[in-house]
């Protein structure tokens, strides 16, 4: 499915579902009234129903409530406003609206949904506004949802929302985008198109790090939002790799945001991959992969991959992104090793067995 990307919230009123006055289900969290674009959005809408009854780690039951509200109010389109959680909930509401009942999750094959979906990201990190993936929790476990129809029909990018974000949130979402750009670049699923997106994203993020996170410049905010979206487009092609697979349990076990968790994983996994070329599973070979590692290093303005790894760690130190501290390291590592989904490692160019996973977590935790 093709997507239309639109810059500027002032164009929202001209997007067909809104211009045609379709009844909207607006999916957003409780911070929506505080956004600098709140008034611009409200003046563009005619008929709408709000849905905000979900948390930062949305549950399947939350989505079911949204589906019920969508049907009860005879909605005709969905508008998602917020970070990854809001957009993921909106995607799942669209997808699950075709299901027979709430008991069908993972039992019924997902069917295409024609419901128009619009997304306005309010952070620059997940790139969820340009992917056909979503994440929710079902029976306590994190579930990845994938379907072509949940790629939003329209992504409206408005960088002014980034200038008022709390600084720690800006750091974490920035790092999430940077990790996505790097991971998609070395993924076994990479293509010339995805690499083009990855290269642009990584270079742009690094070149705007100080302007965005230190100086809070509007021009840098626009560039970072653009780069995060391009990283999302890259991930939409390749999916994520080992740093994301390693990060999920860190988030729940230590209560740190996703971007923080994935960022402390990436340099340790990259170092391990450099040291174990014999375990390369990319069909293009380690020679190809090593060239990719050097290309990523160049995008980070570093001469070699090892320099790039050290530079990445310097960024984490500069941003005060600390490694998780464990009170019972042996116990925690055992939990973490068993939490990694092997299917999520299939995109990683170097294979990782349980011993390798254990060693990497040992280097991640303090």
pTM of the complete model: 0.94
**Which residue, 248, 296, 286, 242, is CA-closest to 268?**
242
Q: What is the model's pLDDT at position 226?
A: 98
Distance CA 126, CA 83 (A): 7
* pLDDT computed for residue 57 by the predictor: 84
The rounded percent of the chain whose pLDDT value lies above 90 is 86
The model's pLDDT over 331-357, given as tens digits with 9 standing for 90+, comes to 999 999 999 989 889 999 999 999 999
pLDDT at 101: 57
Does residue 310 register a pLDDT over 60?
Answer: yes
Per 3-state DSSP, what percentage of the chain is helix, strand, and coil (rounded to 5)? 60, 10, 30
CB-based burial, 114-147: b 16+ in 10 Å, e otherwise: ebbbbbbbbbbbbbbbbbbbbbbbeeeeeeebeb
pLDDT tens digit string along 186-195?
A: 999 999 999 9
Q: Which two tokens stand for residue 43?
A: 């003046």
Nearest CA to 205 among 294, 312, 128? 312
Q: Which domains does the chain have, with CATH numbers?
A: 4-161 (3.40.50.1970), 166-364 (1.20.1090.10)
* Residues in CB range of 38: below 8 A, 6 or more apart: 32
Q: Mean pLDDT across the chain, nearest whole number?
A: 94
- Helical packing angle, 242-254 and 329-339, nearest 10°: 130
Tracing tokens 């083009």 back to the chain, one arrives at 196
Nearest in space to 252 (alpha carbons), one of 57, 96, 121: 57
**Both tokens of residue 82?**
């917020």
Residues 6 or more apart from 314 whose CB is under 8 A from it?
Answer: none
Phi-psi region of 280 (alpha: psi -120 to 50; beta: other; left: phi over 0): beta
Distances from the Cα of 43 to the Cα of 48, 82, 141, 165, angstroms: 12, 18, 39, 23
Mean pLDDT of 118-125: 95
Tokens of 29: 């969290």
CA dist 251 and 268 (Å) reads: 17
292, pLDDT greater than 80: yes
pLDDT tens-digit map of 226-272 = 999 999 999 999 999 999 999 999 998 999 999 999 999 999 999 99
pLDDT computed for residue 141 by the predictor? 75
Helix, coil or strand: residue 131: coil
Mean pLDDT of 43-70: 92
């Amino acid at each position: 499915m093709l997507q239309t990307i639109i810059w500027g919230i002032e164009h929202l009123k001209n997007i067909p579902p809104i211009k045609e006055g379709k009844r909207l289900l607006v999916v957003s969290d409780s911070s929506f009234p505080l956004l600098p674009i709140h008034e611009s959005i409200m003046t563009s809408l005619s008929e709408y129903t709000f849905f905000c009854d979900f948390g930062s780690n949305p549950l399947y039951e939350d989505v079911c409530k949204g589906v019920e509200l969508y049907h009860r109010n005879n909605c005709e389109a969905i508008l998602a406003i917020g970070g990854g959680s809001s957009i993921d909930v909106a995607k799942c509401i669209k997808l699950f609206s075709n299901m027979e009942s709430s008991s069908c999750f993972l039992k019924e094959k997902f069917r295409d949904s024609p419901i128009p979906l619009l997304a306005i990201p309010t952070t620059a990190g997940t790139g969820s506004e340009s992917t056909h993936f979503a994440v929710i929790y079902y029976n306590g476990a994190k579930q990845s949802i994938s379907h072509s129809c949940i790629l939003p029909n329209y992504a409206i990018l408005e960088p002014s929302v980034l200038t008022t974000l709390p600084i720690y949130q800006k750091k974490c979402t920035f790092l999430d985008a940077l990790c996505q750009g790097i991971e998609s670049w070395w993924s076994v699923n990479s293509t010339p198109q995805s690499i083009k997106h990855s290269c642009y994203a990584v270079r742009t993020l690094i070149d705007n790090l100080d302007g965005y996170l230190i100086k809070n410049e509007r021009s840098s905010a626009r560039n970072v939002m653009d780069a995060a979206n391009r990283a999302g487009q890259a991930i939409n092609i390749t999916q994520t790799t080992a740093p994301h697979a390693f990060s999920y349990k860190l988030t729940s076990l230590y209560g740190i945001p996703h971007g923080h968790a994935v960022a402390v994983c990436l340099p340790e996994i990259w170092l391990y991959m450099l040291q174990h070329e014999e375990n390369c599973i990319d069909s293009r070979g380690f020679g190809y992969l090593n060239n990719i590692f050097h290309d990523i290093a160049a995008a980070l303005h570093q001469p070699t991959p090892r320099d790039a790894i050290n530079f990445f760690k310097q960024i984490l130190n500069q941003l005060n992104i600390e490694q998780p501290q464990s009170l019972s390291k042996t116990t925690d590592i055992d939990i973490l090793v068993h939490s990694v989904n092997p299917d999520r490692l299939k995109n990683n160019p170097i294979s990782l067995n349980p011993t390798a996973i254990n060693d990497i977590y040992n280097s991640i935790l303090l």
